[in-house]
Amino acid sequence: MEFHKILIAIDKSQSAEKVAKSGLELAKQFNSEIALVTIIDESANESGDQPTAREIEDMRGHNLNHSQRQVIEKVFKDFPIKSFVEDGEPAQAIVKIAELWGADVIVMGTHGRKGLSHLIMGSVAEEVIRNSKKTMVVIPISEA
């Protein structure tokens, strides 16, 4: 199997670096193009707080937040990448960008929640798996 285009979904959590590194390693193995996708979900962010109007406007202008820029600078250095910022529900937006860009594989993280926590919060990765025909690489992220 060849992976010519790898789409890496990152957010502003601390796990973004781990997910990015995993995607980069895969890209190096297959000499693939990389694109990062960040989703603007106005309904909530990782901490459950609503993003500020400034954060939303910055991201709409493709101005990634400080933590995402740090991930890009630290992980990808001189490796050329494309970057997408998309509005909407995260799983749907990731599937949409993967289709539009022609990704062969999607790399993303999951917290691996189970039980009531999973039922309440759901899983973006699980929804992407259900709704995309793309190959998925799901990176487990610990809840430290």
Which of 5-14, 51-60, 76-85 is predicted least confidently?
51-60
Identify the CATH number of the domain in which residue 36 sits: 3.40.50.620
Does pLDDT of 120 surpass 50?
no
Tokens for 12, please give them.
Answer: 């502003």
Total structural domains in the chain? 1
Chain mean pLDDT for the chain? 81
The CB-side HSE value for 35 (13 A sphere, CA atoms) comes to: 22
> Which range marks the domain in which residue 54 is found?
5-140
